[in-house]
């Protein structure tokens, strides 16, 4: 049993795997390409066939691969009668189309692409009919839209192809979006996204207050996909696709997806008034309208397209009736329509291929020159018309029977009358397909010299015609299949017999009326056509195009309005919106009373606070004097560091103070090349407005922070405190969190930092090679630059401090696991130590003594940290689990070694590399701008002779 269930995912995945092959196999020739396309299809068919007996006897196969059980996301598949029928249709017709396309496509068409798209589509379609999870079904649903877009637009050089593909994608994609909403509502009502659960909960669904929106949204998806009025217009335009695509997508499979969905959801949704009036009415209108338009189309494929629209309407209407008998008729007609319509499309393709035109007005008399094609086309078209002894007759009879027994808005005859009208036009266009194409005298003005194609091309439609007649003559052959699928649709046991002769009843009379009327219409086609031509009617494509253009214009206008180029305005809107949202959130929830006491304030804290507030005020007031503002910013950073020390955050204090130093250095470097002052640009009104906004935001944030701090909270940190020493091997909990508990986050963050460094390097590279670089080379510096750019005092001082600073860095690094410190801080301290050398002796002099590239440091850092994480896999533990042990090497005291330290080394290297790379990149600007390279560490070296130094100065 298990192995049989396990086949389902394999069947579903086969076409997708197969899709990888044709693109490669086309190099081995067209036959090889087509054969390899057929292999996965055949394989899937064989596997499916092995399950068929079980399904026929009533087993429902299931397979579930759980993915995110919390969100009820799982790849679950199931196979019942309906799924089996559709899967057979998809794979079977797919195989025939593969054969047909091999001979249809010309040598100029990229066949590998075609077969890849075809298999992608086949996989998506198969996924829809096999899915048990509706979320999975939605994914496959969207995949069919996408892959059909590729197929419709396959002939990229044809504008109709591209436009048709876009239109199909827009309409079906929009419907798909609506359906996502509907499916989510449905899942929410039932409390499960498993289709089997939903189907079992039909009463619950229908009783829900959300039933109507769910039904409407899901139907929007089904109607757009199945080209129901008023969304029918995309289907004829999709006929720009190669004929194999039309035959496959637009007769057999994709357009049936909507019908399939309605049939699938039938137990859960059907049977209510809403369902009946929406589904049956839309289906009826579509059926009649499609049939009428089809009669007046001269393009063979357009005729077939509108006939498909009409037949899909018929199916929709039947499902809308909501009775088990109607469902049986629908299932039977799905099979019949598939068989004759695919054959007809292939016939149309053959005619087009051989004569060079699809225009009925230019055809006629083909029966004599293409007898085989004519025979196939005639059989299939007679079936479409609903003549007895062809399969179409049986299901059409059943449909008419159901229609005549349905009353609409207490009107017992309107449905029957309209259905007869639809059938009548159906007879007319089917006969037109036969008589205007194949009958009549042979013409001498065909664009090409027509003759029957090779066996490969007519084999597939001929094969289908065998079924047309077999089912038509001996309907009991189809009974088990119809029964199996219809029982799966309705979820009830059904007993019925399909037969040709039911006696003289209403349906037969309606059928006879339709045939007689159809013949009359065909005879009177010419005057009717003139009437049709002068009749005003809306052209769907024009409406669609103007709708799209209008949407585009509105969106462009809106984008222009919102995105008018002023970042300061966006930021103002952003701040205002954030404050407003905060206020809404605040007013919505009840805030509990303050539960904590104020912490006492020592006098020194007040001093620090005053300094900080004054510094903020000064930065704001003097922001135009950029150097001054920068210096004052340093005061703020310093005060914050001191605050961290006082408030029990030594690690933060260390980090803040070192980052502060590096940031100020960076900004100073940048300011060297930027204007030193900001001009007065905004008027007093604007400044006042901005200040108001700023004050409101500030007060809001202050209030938020205050209310946070005054209330107690529950924290998960006790876990970290409890396990820091025993699990992570360190007493500095902050560091253990960084390198162990939340090591993954830290790993991500050092990568981000590394990327930022590389990004700056890359930007600078581009900048220097662009026009800015040329400008820089010509830049002139003011005459007031310092003459003593590398002063003796500074060189000596930094030289003395270098080893001390490095030692402090190493110390901070080593103790980090147990005392404040760690890789982040150590990296920053190293950076500062190196930067001092840059400042003292100049960029070039220092770089010349550098052995390792900063890029490499970043890389080493990330790799070391990553390998440390991977190392824990070797010990059979999750990524980045740290391990530690205590060692004793005399004469040193017992000490601890932890893998976390190795990880911290990675952090250290990455921080060092990134910070240095950033500053290095900025200082390249200076060198580019004509900064001289000094060979000596300092400009004036007292240990050298006066002459030597003066000549060096001349050189500089």
Partner 1 sequence: MELLVASAVGALTAGGVYLILRLRAFTVILGLALLSYAVNIFLFSTGRLAVGKPPVLDGYTVGDFSAYTDPLPQALVLTAIVISFGMTAVLVMFALGAYLEAGDDKIDMDGPDQPDRQITATTPQDPESDGITFDFEPRERDA
Q: Which of residues 622-681 bind partner 1 (CB under 8 A)?
A: 623-624, 626-627, 629-630, 633, 636-637, 640, 643-644, 646-652, 655-656, 659, 662-663, 666-667, 670-679, 681
**Cβ-based nearer residue to partner 1, 291 or 829:** 829
Contact set for partner 1, span 521-580 (CB under 8 A): 556, 559-561, 563-569, 571-572, 575
Q: How far is CA 575 from the centre of its chain?
A: 31
Of residues 873-932, those binding partner 1 (CB under 8 A)? 911, 914-915, 918, 921-922, 925, 929
Q: Which is nearer to partner 1, 9 or 650 (CB)?
A: 650
In terms of CB distance, is 780 or 893 closer to partner 1? Answer: 780
Specify the 3-state DSSP secondary structure of 313.
helix
Could you say which residues in the range 751-790 bind partner 1, by CB under 8 A? 752-753, 756-757, 759-760, 763-764, 767, 770-772, 774-776, 778-782, 784-785
Q: How far is the CB of 618 from partner 1 (least distance, A)?
A: 10
- The least distance separating partner 1 from the CB of residue 931, rounded to whole angstroms, comes to 12
Stretch that binds partner 1, among 92-100, 355-363, 453-461, 714-722 (CB under 8 A): 714-722
* DSSP per position, 795-813: HHHHHHHHHHHHHHHHHHH
Which helix (H) or strand (E) segment holds residue 715: the answer is none
3-class DSSP string for 28-88 = HCHHHHHHHHHHHHHHHHHHHHHHHHHHHCCCCEEEEEEEEHHHCEEEEEEECHHHHHHHH
CB nearer to partner 1: give 779 or 800: 779
Nearer to partner 1, 2 or 708 (CB): 708
Would the CA dihedral through 481, 483, 484, 490 be positive or negative? positive
Q: Is 246 or 746 the residue whose CB approaches partner 1 more closely?
A: 746
Question: Least distance (Å) from partner 1 to the CB of residue 588?
Answer: 20
Q: Closer CB to partner 1, residue 712 or residue 890?
A: 712
704-713 as b/e: b if 16+ CB within 10 A: eeeeeeeeee
Smallest separation (angstroms) from partner 1 to the CB of 584: 19
Kindly tell me which of 412 and 560 has the beta carbon lying closer to partner 1.
560
What does the DSSP assignment read for 456-507? HHHHHHHHHHHHHHHHHH-GGGTHHHHHHHHHHHH-S-------S---S-HH
Work out how close the CB of 747 gets to partner 1 at its nearest, in angstroms, rounded to a whole number.
11
Segment 727-756, which members bind partner 1 (CB under 8 A)?
731-734, 737-738, 742, 745-746, 749, 752-753, 756
Rounded least distance, CB 601 to partner 1, Å: 5
Q: Under rule CB under 8 A, which residues in 312-341 are in contact with partner 1? A: none
The nearer residue to partner 1, 322 or 637, going by C-beta atoms, is 637
CA 217 to chain centre: 21
| Closer residue to partner 1, CB minimum distance, 66 or 717 | 717
Q: Quote the least distance from Cβ 244 to partner 1, whole Å.
A: 38
Nearer to partner 1, 281 or 818 (CB): 818
Q: Which of 474, 500, 691, 856 binds partner 1 (CB under 8 A)?
A: 691
Pick between residue 9 and residue 643 the one whose CB is nearest to partner 1.
643
Q: Closer to partner 1 at the Cβ: 535 or 598?
A: 598
**Shorter beta-carbon distance to partner 1: residue 166 or 742:** 742
Work out how close the CB of 780 gets to partner 1 at its nearest, in angstroms, rounded to a whole number. 5
**Helix H or strand E encompassing 690:** helix 684-709
Is residue 891 reached through a cis peptide bond, with omega within 30 degrees of 0 on the bond before it? yes
The strand pairing partners of 131, in sequence order, are 77
CB of 908 to partner 1, least distance (A): 12
Q: How many residues bind partner 1 (CB under 8 A)?
A: 139
Under a CB-based contact definition with an 8 Å cutoff, are residues 11 and 87 in contact? Answer: yes
Structure tokens at 45: 């068919």
Give me the least distance between CB of 174 and partner 1, in Å please. 23
Of residues 421-480, those binding partner 1 (CB under 8 A): none
How far apart are CB 857 and partner 1 at their closest, in Å? 15
Backbone angles phi, psi at 898, to 5 degrees: -130, 145
E-state strands within 883-950: 884-887, 895-898
Q: Mask 253-292, x = binds partner 1 (CB under 8 A)? A: ----------------------------------------
Q: Is 601 helix (H, G, I), strand (E, B) or coil?
A: coil
* Segment lying near partner 1 (by CB under 8 A), choices 152-160, 261-269, 711-719, 836-844: 711-719
- Cβ burial of 291 (10 Å; 0-12, 13-18, 19+) is buried
The only residue of 500, 703, 797, 804 in contact with partner 1, by rule CB under 8 A: 703
* Cβ atoms within 10 Å of 339's Cβ, excluding its own: 29
The token pair at 53 is: 């007996």
Kindly write down the DSSP assignment for every residue of 330-360, as one continuous string.
HHHHHHHHHHHHHHHHHHHHHHHHHHS--BG
| Nearest approach, Cβ of residue 881 and partner 1 (Å) | 18
HSE toward the beta carbon, residue 758, CA cutoff 13 A: 12
CA angle 828, 830, 836 (to 5 degrees): 100
Q: Which parts of 796-835 interact with partner 1 (CB under 8 A)? A: 818-820, 824, 828
Q: How far is CA 915 from CA 179, 616, 808, 810, 829, in A?
A: 50, 26, 18, 17, 11
Q: Residue 77: beta bridge partners? A: 63, 131
Closest to partner 1 by CB, 78 vs 908, is 908
Indicate the residue among 53 and 565 with the shorter CB distance to partner 1.
565
Q: What's the min distance (Å) between Cβ of 933 and partner 1?
A: 19
What is the number of other CB atoms lying within 10 angstroms of the CB of residue 557? 10
Of 531, 701, 804, 867, the residue at the interface with partner 1 (CB under 8 A) is: 701
Our CB check for partner 1 shows the closer of 74 and 655 to be 655
Work out how close the CB of 655 gets to partner 1 at its nearest, in angstroms, rounded to a whole number. Answer: 5
**Angle (nearest 5°) at CA 517 between 515 and 521:** 115
**Nearest-10 Cα torsion for 869, 874, 875, 876:** 90
493: contact with partner 1 by CB under 8 A: no
Task: Provide the 3-class DSSP secondary structure of residue 791.
Answer: coil
Binding string, 593-612, against partner 1, x = CB under 8 A?
---x-xxxx---xx--x--x
Q: Taking the complex as a whole, how short is the minimal distance between the CB of residue 882 and partner 1, in angstroms?
A: 15
Q: Cis ω on the peptide bond leading into residue 230 (within 30° of 0)? A: yes
Q: In this structure, are residues 182 and 214 in contact, taking their beta carbons and an 8 Å threshold? A: yes
Q: Given the complex with partner 1, which of 210 and 570 has the nearer CB atom?
A: 570
Of 535, 685, 716, 892, the one binding partner 1 by CB under 8 A: 716
Instruction: Find the binder of partner 1 among 20, 548, 721, 796 (CB under 8 A).
Output: 721
- Give the single-character DSSP code of 567: H
User: Which one of 388-396, 702-710, 792-800, 873-881 is the stretch in contact with partner 1 (CB under 8 A)?
Assistant: 702-710
Rounded-to-integer distance, Cα 694 and Cα 178, Å: 42
Closest CA to 353 of 489, 428, 453: 453
Smallest gap from Cβ 320 to partner 1, in A, equals 45
CB of 815 to partner 1, least distance (A): 11
């Amino acid at each position: 049993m298990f192995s049989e269930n396990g086949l389902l995912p394999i069947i579903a995945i086969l076409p997708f795997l197969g899709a990888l092959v044709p693109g490669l196999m086309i190099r081995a020739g067209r036959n090889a390409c087509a054969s390899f396309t057929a292999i996965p299809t055949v394989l899937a068919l064989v596997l499916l066939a092995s399950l068929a007996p079980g399904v026929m006897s009533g087993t429902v196969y299931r397979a579930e691969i759980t993915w995110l059980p919390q969100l009820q996301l799982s790849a679950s598949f199931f196979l019942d009668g309906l799924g089996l029928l559709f899967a057979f249709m998809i794979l079977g017709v797919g195989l025939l189309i593969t054969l047909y396309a091999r001979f249809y496509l010309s040598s100029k068409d990229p066949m590998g692409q075609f077969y890849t798209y075809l298999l992608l589509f086949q996989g998506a379609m198969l996924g829809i009919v096999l899915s048990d999870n509706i979320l999975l079904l939605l994914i496959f649903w969207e995949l069919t839209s996408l892959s059909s877009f590729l197929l419709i637009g396959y002939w990229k050089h044809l504008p109709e192809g591209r436009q048709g593909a876009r239109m199909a994608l827009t309409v079906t994609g929009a419907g798909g979006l609506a359906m996502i909403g509907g499916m989510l509502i449905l899942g929410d009502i039932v409390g499960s996204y498993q289709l089997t659960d939903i189907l079992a909960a039909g009463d619950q669904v229908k009783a829900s207050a959300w039933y109507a929106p769910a039904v409407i949204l899901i139907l929007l998806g089904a109607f757009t996909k199945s080209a129901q009025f008023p969304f029918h217009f995309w289907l004829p335009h999709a006929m720009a696709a190669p004929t194999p695509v039309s035959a496959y997508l637009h007769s057999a499979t994709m357009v049936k997806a909507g019908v399939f969905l309605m049939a699938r959801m039938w137990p859960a949704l059907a049977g209510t008034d809403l369902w009946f009036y929406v589904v049956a009415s839309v289906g009826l209108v579509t059926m009649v309208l499609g049939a009428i338009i089809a009669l007046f189309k001269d393009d063979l494929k357009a005729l077939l397209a509108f006939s498909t629209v009409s037949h899909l309407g018929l199916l929709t209407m039947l499902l809308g009736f909501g009775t088990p008998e109607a469902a049986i008729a629908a299932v039977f007609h799905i099979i019949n329509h598939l068989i004759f319509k695919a054959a007809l499309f292939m016939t149309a393709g053959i005619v087009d291929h051989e004569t060079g035109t699809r225009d009925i007005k230019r055809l006629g008399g083909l029966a004599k020159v293409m007898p085989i094609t004519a025979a196939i086309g005639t059989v299939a078209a007679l079936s479409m018309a609903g003549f007895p002894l062809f399969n179409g007759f049986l299901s059409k009879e059943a449909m008419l029977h159901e229609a005549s027994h349905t009353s609409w808005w207490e009107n017992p005859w309107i449905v029957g009358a309209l259905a007869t009208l639809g059938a009548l036009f159906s007879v007319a266009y089917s006969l037109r397909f036969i008589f205007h194409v194949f009958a009549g005298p042979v013409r001498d003005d065909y664009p090409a010299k027509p003759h029957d194609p090779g066996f490969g091309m007519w084999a597939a439609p001929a094969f289908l015609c065998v079924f047309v007649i077999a089912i038509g003559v001996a309907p009991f052959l189809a009974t088990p299949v119809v029964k199996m699928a219809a029982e799966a649709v309705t979820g009830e046991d059904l007993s019925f017999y399909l037969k040709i002769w039911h006696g003289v009843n209403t349906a037969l009379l309606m059928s006879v009326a339709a045939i007689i009327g159809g013949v009359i219409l065909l005879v009177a086609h010419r005057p009717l056509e003139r009437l049709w031509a002068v009749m005003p009617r809306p052209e769907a494509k024009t409406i669609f195009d103007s709708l799209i253009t209008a949407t585009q214009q509105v969106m462009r206008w809106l984008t222009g309005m919102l995105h008018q180029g002023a970042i300061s305005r966006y930021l103002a809107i952003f701040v205002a919106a954030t404050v407003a949202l905060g206020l809404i959130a605040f007013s919505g929830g009840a805030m509990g009373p303050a539960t904590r006491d104020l912490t006492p304030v020592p006098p020194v804290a007040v001093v620090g606070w005053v300094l900080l507030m004054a510094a903020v005020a000064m930065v704001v007031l003097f922001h135009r004097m950029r150097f001054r503002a920068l210096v004052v910013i340093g005061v703020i950073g310093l005060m914050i560091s001191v605050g961290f020390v006082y408030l029990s955050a030594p690690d933060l204090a260390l980090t803040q103070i070192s980052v502060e130093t590096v940031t100020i250095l960076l900004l100073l470097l940048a300011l060297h090349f930027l204007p030193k002052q900001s001009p007065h640009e905004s008027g007093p009104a604007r400044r006042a407005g901005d200040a108001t906004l700023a004050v409101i935001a500030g007060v809001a944030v202050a209030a938020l922070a205050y209310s946070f701090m005054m209330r107690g909270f529950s924290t998960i940190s006790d876990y970290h405190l409890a396990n820091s020493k025993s699990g992570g091997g360190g007493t500095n909990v902050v560091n253990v969190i960084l390198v162990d508990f939340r090591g993954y986050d830290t790993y991500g963050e050092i990568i981000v930092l590394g990327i930022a460094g590389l990004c700056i390097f890359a930007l600078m590279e581009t900048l220097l090679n662009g026009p800015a670089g040329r400008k820089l080379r010509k830049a002139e510096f003011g005459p007031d630059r310092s003459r003593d750019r590398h002063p003796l005092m500074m060189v000596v001082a930094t030289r003395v401090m270098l080893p001390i600073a490095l030692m402090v860095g190493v110390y901070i690094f080593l103790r980090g696991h147990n005392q404040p410190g760690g890789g982040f801080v150590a990296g920053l301290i190293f950076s500062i130590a190196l930067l001092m050398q840059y400042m003292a002796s100049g960029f070039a002099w220092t770089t010349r003594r550098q052995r390792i590239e900063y890029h490499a440091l970043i890389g080493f850092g990330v790799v070391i940290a990553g390998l440390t994480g991977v190392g824990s896999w070797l010990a059979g533990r999750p990524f980045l689990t740290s391990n530690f042990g205590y060692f004793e090497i005399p004469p040193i005291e017992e000490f601890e070694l932890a893998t976390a330290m190795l990880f911290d080394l990675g952090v250290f290297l990455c921080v060092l590399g990134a910070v240095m790379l950033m500053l290095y990149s900025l200082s390249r600007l200076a060198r580019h701008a004509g900064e001289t390279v000094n060979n000596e560490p300092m400009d004036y070296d007292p240990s050298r002779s006066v002459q030597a130094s003066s000549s060096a100065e001349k050189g500089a």
